[in-house]
């Protein structure tokens, strides 16, 4: 992968996003878009956080789809911040 074209973003997804299979849905979508990184539940019951890394058009795609999420989710907001990260992720993981 050309590391110059790789971008890294941190996402904060808020709403009814825990106990609705959001992390599994997000992980499958990230993998299908060739994105690497991870997603995890936040300590707050109404938030998940993710680091996503890959091509910018795929990142923008997952950000847009996260605004709706899986069927049982009720997403209130998706905040994305571009970060400078020296870590290169080789896969997408769900953190527990």
Task: Check whether 1 has a pLDDT greater than 60.
Answer: no
Lowest mean pLDDT among 17-21, 25-29, 82-86: 82-86
DSSP string, the chain: --TTS-EEEEEEEEEE-SSSSHHHHHHHHHHHTT-EEEEEE-SSTTEEEEEEEE-HHHHHHHHHHHTT-STT-EEEEEEEEE--------SEEEE-
Ordered by start, the domain boundaries in the chain are 7-86
Query: What's residue 30's pLDDT?
Result: 98
> pLDDT for 29-81, tens place per residue?
999 999 999 999 998 889 999 999 999 999 999 999 999 999 999 999 999 99
CATH of domain 7-86: 3.30.70.100
């Amino acid at each position: 992968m050309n590391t110059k074209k790789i971008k890294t973003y941190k996402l904060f997804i808020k709403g009814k996003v825990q106990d609705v299979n959001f992390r599994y849905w997000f992980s499958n979508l990230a993998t299908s878009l060739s994105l690497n990184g991870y997603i995890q539940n936040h300590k707050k019951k109404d938030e998940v956080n993710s680091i996503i890394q890959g091509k910018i058009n795929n990142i923008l795609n997952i950000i847009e789809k996260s605004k709706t999420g899986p069927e049982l989710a009720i997403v209130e907001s998706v905040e994305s911040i571009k970060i400078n990260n020296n870590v290169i992720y080789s896969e997408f993981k769900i953190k527990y």
